[in-house]
Every structure is written in C-alpha cells, then in structure tokens.
Structure 1
C-alpha cells in the first residue's frame, strides 16, 4: 500500500512541502513531464538529470514558473550560472507564483543591505526565500518584532536564512523565548547596556535557539546552579555557550561531568574551574572526549598540561596531530612547552606558528650593537 504524505499547496504558491518516493514513482508512471518546464530548464543550462534523480516530481507539476523565477533572479543581479545552480538545488522554486516571489523579494530587501547580498543568501538558502505564501504574514511580523529589538539587520537576515522555521511560525512564540533569554540574562547580573549585543551574539551563533522550549534553558541553568556554579559563573557560561546552552540536558551534562572528573582526577572545585575555562566540556559526548583525551596523551602530552589548557579538547585529534607535527618540524617540543600554541582557529594557529618561527630565526646577537673588542 502506498504511504501518503500530505502535500501543502497554496493558491498563489504551489510549493510542495513533502512527497513520498512511492507517490513520485506513481506520478512518473501515470503522467508525463511538463515539457515546457523541461525546455525552460534546459535553456537555462540547469542540471535536469540531477533534478530527475533527486526531485523529479517537480517536472510533472503544472503550472510552473521557470522563466519568471529566472527573470526575477536575473533582475536582482544573479548570473546565469548562479540561476542554474539555484534551480538545480531547489527546483521547487519554479512552483512559486510570481506575485509571491515579488512579495518575498520586497520583504527580504527590508533587511538586506542590497540585492547582491540577497542573491548570495538565495544561492545558499533557496528554500528560505521560496516559501509558501501562507507564511508571509508570520515572516513579516517576525521581521517587525526583531527590528523593534534594534537587532542588527545582518543578524535578522541570518536568522531568516539559516532558521526559516522560526520566522514561519507566529511571532508570539519567538517573543516568549526572547523574553526568557532577556530575563535570565538580567537575573544573572547581566548589564542592561550590553544585553542587545549579548542577544545578537547568541542568536548569531545558534539561530535555532528560538525553536527550543524556554523550559529547557531554565532547566539547564538550574542544574548547573545545583552543581555549585555561582550567579556570575552562570552568566559567564551562558555567554560562552550562548545558544548552545539549549542543546544540553541535565542527564548528558551529568554524565559528561562525571567522565571528565574521573579522567582528569580533578576535585569538584577543580572541575568547575575546568568547565569555566572550557564550557565545551559540557556538551561533548563521552566517546568524543575519550578519543580526544587519548589522542593528546598518545602524543606525549600529560594530564596536567591538559588541565592547564583544557580548550585544546575543542580540537579534533586529527587537527591536534597535524599541528603537533608542524611544531615538531620547528623544534618545538609539545611535551614540555605550553599547549596554548595548539589552540584556536587555523588562522590563530598560523599566527602563533609564525611568531614561533620568528623567535627561532632571530639572531643570537644584535648586529647594530657595538662590539666590545680589545685594541
């Protein structure tokens, strides 16, 4: 028996939200491809075989607005290759009514700096732009709300692009989570003047935080408070973890903390200090931590070094080994030196590595200094 999945269609935008593979096969057997659509895509140099393989059902829909989508994107400055790439990745775009696409364009331009920026967003997140018209009012209301919070426009566009679900739902749901975040920030002693910047960083780092139940945030902070973290320390953790604090749960944190304490041999107070230095220890699963601890110890690094610089655990074993090999090539002994040189992004490491190289290449004497030579 064929498994049915509901199809969400609107009068102005016939965007199919879900369709089972069985139904798609059935459509192939019982109907023919829309030849106007196929020809229009062919004229635009779109990879039709890719569409047939992954989303072939789109080619059977009627009406379709392939040329209209292409004209809209072209009018915004998209090149032919970009248009072809967008339609190959998200062919459902051709099912959106031109009036709906124009409405989306106007709405997005209220927060985008220019059309070039919008084209870049559509190229990366086409599904966020080509959405059903039934979500338009919610999207507009959410934009207005976040603008009222005086959030940076780039933050708003990032939210819309990477977490479109949060903008498609009623604004009241986002208001509840934002109020919860603001309340927690203030209760932990956060300064009012810094709250907007703090909120922007949180939403930027994890746009999906808006989709989490407010109760999760409160539950996680209560667990950490019971573990002995002070109000100031909780604010520090919340600021460091930002939106990822909602990805945690007491059970996983309890397990991770127990493993970290057992592995490092730290006391409860020492473990708290370790967490404050490296909050990421709260959300890494035991299996990942075990692999990283073992990788560091196998490289000759001792546990006291790891405890002194726990942020090295944020790096994968592969990255750590690669960096250690490069440092060894310069004569740096990681077993006796500081682990700080391993830390940070690739750019941070290259900077530290460059400074280390300059130190090794510096002359042993100052050639500009006068020599103390007997007559």
Structure 2
C-alpha cells in the first residue's frame, strides 16, 4: 500500500513539474522575442503579459540589460517587487546600457543623495530616470544652472521627475523663461529678497511652467492689467495660481470672466474682488462653471452666498452635494449658514462635522440638575 502511494505521489509530482514547465514555455515562447530578456523578466516575477500588451516591441530588442539594471536598482535599495513594478510599467529600462545608467544615477544622486528616496522617485517616474544618454549633458547643465540660483535640491529633483523635458532641453531655454518670470515678479512689485522663495514655490507647484513660451506670460499679464487688476493684484494672482498665466490665454480668460459676471450679475470691480479670492474662476471653462453654479443653486444656495464665498466654486458638484448631505445629517442648514464650512480638504470637513456633532450632543440645559442656591 505504501509503495502504491509513493508511486502515485511521484507520478503526480512529475505531472505538476511538466505542467509548470509547459506553462512557462507557453509564457515565454515567441520567435520574434529576445528569449533571454523574457527569461530574465520571468525570473524577476515581472508581468510579462502586461508588457506584451502595452509595449511588446521592447521584448524584441537586442541587446537588453535586464539583470544588470535590476542589480543596479537592488544595490540602491529597491526590493524585488519594486524592480518588477518598475520593469512592468517602464520596460524600456532594460534597453538602457548599464554604464549610461550608472552615470544617470550619479547625476540624480547629486540632487537626491538619499538612495531610498531616489528609488521612490524612480518607481513613481521611471521614464524620467531612464532617459536617452544624449540628454545627459543638458541635464547636468540644467542642474548646475538651478543650483546657481540657490534653488533647493529637493525642488530640482522634483522638477527632473515631474517635468523631465525641461531638463532634457538646452539650458539656454530655461534661462530665458526664468529671466522672464523674475522680470515679471520685479515689475509687479515683488521684493528681491523674496524672489528665490517665490520662484521655488512656483516651480514646485507647476514644473511645466518652464516649457511655456515666455510671450504667453506677457500677453496674459497685459490682458489682466487691461481688465483693471493692479500690479499688486497681478502679483497675487501670479503667486496664487501656480503659474496659471502660462496655462491660459486672453481669449479663454475673457470668455470665463464674461460668463461669471453675467451669471453672478455683479460689477467689474466686484468681479475682480471675487477673482482675487478665488483665482480658479479664471481657468475653469464655461461648461464647468455652469455645472457648478447650477449644482449650488439647485441645492438651495443663493447667488449672494456664492458671491460672499466664491471659493466654494473650486469644489466639484459631487463633493458639494455629499458635504451638504453630511451637514444636514448634523442639523446644519447650508441655505442659512455660511458656505465656509464646505471649503477645505476632506480632513478639514470631517473635523467640522465632528464639531457639529459634539455641539448637538451637548445639552444646553439639564432640567433635572439641582439649581445652585445661596448658602
């Protein structure tokens, strides 16, 4: 009996092994693919089917340096699952020559010396790290230039990750845009002592601002000046809107301002005050503004309330409706109360709801409690 069981188990194990080998061969067998690459990715537990579906051409390239790039990432502290994720999302990484990637690593370490943090950046922005070697000198020149401006290395690494095109292009183009931004800041009354902090914040919030034509900045500022905004107000908008003046154009802003004024029925002076409180009104298209105005009005909110707290327009209709329902559950009537309670992050709103709940649960007067009398 024992012999029969042993024989049966042996046959079962051979079938499982054969089946596993068959599945593995089915997974890797493709005459057009580089079998060494596929095998190496398989050993690293990379989702090969995802690569085949989205970027199958990578698997057909030769030479490839899968194991070498994987070793470099692991030496930097990346886990096996992190390496697999990076290769699945950006398989082109295996085509990069190890020597070039070593030079790229040294370049990034100059602004991000913590290799664990660098691995996190690579995992989130693999295409920014695994770039063409022909851009290496441009990257180095741009790093040197921004460091000469005393821009924080953390901001520089964020720029390199979020807007790699700005570091791959010649440094002269970035110099032109930075000078344009600095000149606009000074002409609008910005203080020289605060310019570095202002520029850092602007680049951090909107790294793509460097890629916009300088002429767009000048045209948009001129348009807003013609609309009656003072230099101080223009500086406020330039600082508040994360470089919005390079994302918009006079035509779109004109349509948006006209629509907002007609809908709210306010004067141009009042409209400027509203925009200064809620600069987002400048870049929302008419369709979004119409949806949000209608959503607020249909919830029983008056136009005068919206004008008093225009920042509520920054919230989507779904968020507004959800928050109104939550407030009603806590006995707060948004039609008669302030709209400020709707603003803020999700966490801010949850705190406001908890305060309402505590206030509602606290008894105003306990008729059972004995009254304090004179001794």
Q: TM-score normalised to the size of structure 2?
A: 0.89
Compare 187-196 and 330-339 and name the one that shifted more.
187-196
Map of 2:13 onto structure 1:
none
C-alpha RMSD over aligned residues: 1.7
Q: Within the alignment, does 1:321 sit opposite 2:321 as a pair? A: yes
Matches within 5 A, 1:57-76: 57-76=57-76
Evaluate the alpha carbon distance shift between residue 195 and residue 260 of structure 1 in structure 2; reply closer, same or farther with a 3 A threshold: same
Q: Hey, what's the Cα distance between the residues in 2 that align with 1:305 and 1:45? A: 57
Q: Hey, what's the Cα distance between the residues in 2 that align with 1:275 and 1:116? A: 42
Q: Hey, what's the Cα distance between the residues in 1 that align with 2:151 and 2:179? A: 14
Q: Hey, what's the Cα distance between the residues in 1 that align with 2:156 and 2:81? A: 28
Q: Hey, what's the Cα distance between the residues in 2 that align with 1:156 and 1:56? A: 33
Map of 2:271 onto structure 1:
271
Q: Hey, what's the Cα distance between the residues in 2 that align with 1:184 and 1:213? A: 14
What CA deviation, in whole Å up to 9, does each residue of 1:222-270 have, x standing for no partner?
A: 0000000011111111111122221110000000000000000001111
Q: Hey, what's the Cα distance between the residues in 2 that align with 1:151 and 1:323? A: 40
- Shift of residue 365 of structure 1? 5.6
Map of 1:259 onto structure 2:
259
Q: Within the alignment, does 1:116 sit opposite 2:116 as a pair? A: yes
- Shift of residue 374 of structure 1? 5.9
Map of 2:308 onto structure 1:
308
Map of 2:223 onto structure 1:
223
- Shift of residue 357 of structure 1? 2.7
Map of 2:189 onto structure 1:
189
The SS at the match of 2:146 is helix
Q: Hey, what's the Cα distance between the residues in 1 that align with 2:362 and 2:68? A: 64
What CA deviation, in whole Å up to 9, does each residue of 1:166-203 have, x standing for no partner?
A: 00000010011011111100110111111111111111
Alignment check: 8 A CA contact 1:312 1:343 kept? yes
Matches within 5 A, 1:127-276: 127-276=127-276
What CA deviation, in whole Å up to 9, does each residue of 1:23-66 have, x standing for no partner?
A: xxxxxxx9621100000000000000000111001111110000
Map of 1:11 onto structure 2:
none
What CA deviation, in whole Å up to 9, does each residue of 1:64-119 have, x standing for no partner?
A: 00000100000000000000000000000000000011001100001114001000
Alignment check: 8 A CA contact 1:207 1:243 kept? no
Compare 185-194 and 331-340 and name the one that shifted more.
185-194
Evaluate the alpha carbon distance shift between residue 370 and residue 111 of structure 1 in structure 2; reply closer, same or farther with a 3 A threshold: farther
Q: Hey, what's the Cα distance between the residues in 2 that align with 1:293 and 1:272? A: 18
Map of 2:335 onto structure 1:
335
Alignment check: 8 A CA contact 1:31 1:60 kept? no
Q: Within the alignment, does 1:291 sit opposite 2:291 as a pair? A: yes
**Larger Rg: 1 or 2?**
2
Q: Hey, what's the Cα distance between the residues in 2 that align with 1:239 and 1:371? A: 58
Q: Hey, what's the Cα distance between the residues in 2 that align with 1:333 and 1:317? A: 18
The SS at the match of 2:333 is coil
Q: Hey, what's the Cα distance between the residues in 2 that align with 1:91 and 1:47? A: 10
Q: TM-score normalised to the size of structure 1?
A: 0.89
The SS at the match of 2:326 is helix
Aligned length: 345
Q: Hey, what's the Cα distance between the residues in 2 that align with 1:365 and 1:175? A: 68
Map of 1:90 onto structure 2:
90
The SS at the match of 1:242 is coil
Q: Hey, what's the Cα distance between the residues in 2 that align with 1:113 and 1:74? A: 16
Map of 1:126 onto structure 2:
126
What CA deviation, in whole Å up to 9, does each residue of 1:276-306 have, x standing for no partner?
A: 1100000000000000000000110000000
Q: Hey, what's the Cα distance between the residues in 1 that align with 2:172 and 2:360? A: 60
Compare 282-291 and 266-275 and name the one that shifted more.
266-275
Q: Hey, what's the Cα distance between the residues in 1 that align with 2:291 and 2:119? A: 41
Q: Hey, what's the Cα distance between the residues in 1 that align with 2:259 and 2:184? A: 29
The SS at the match of 1:190 is coil
Q: Hey, what's the Cα distance between the residues in 1 that align with 2:159 and 2:357? A: 42
- Shift of residue 152 of structure 1? 1.4
Unaligned 5+ runs, structure 1 = 1-29
The SS at the match of 1:322 is helix
Unaligned 5+ runs, structure 2 = 1-29
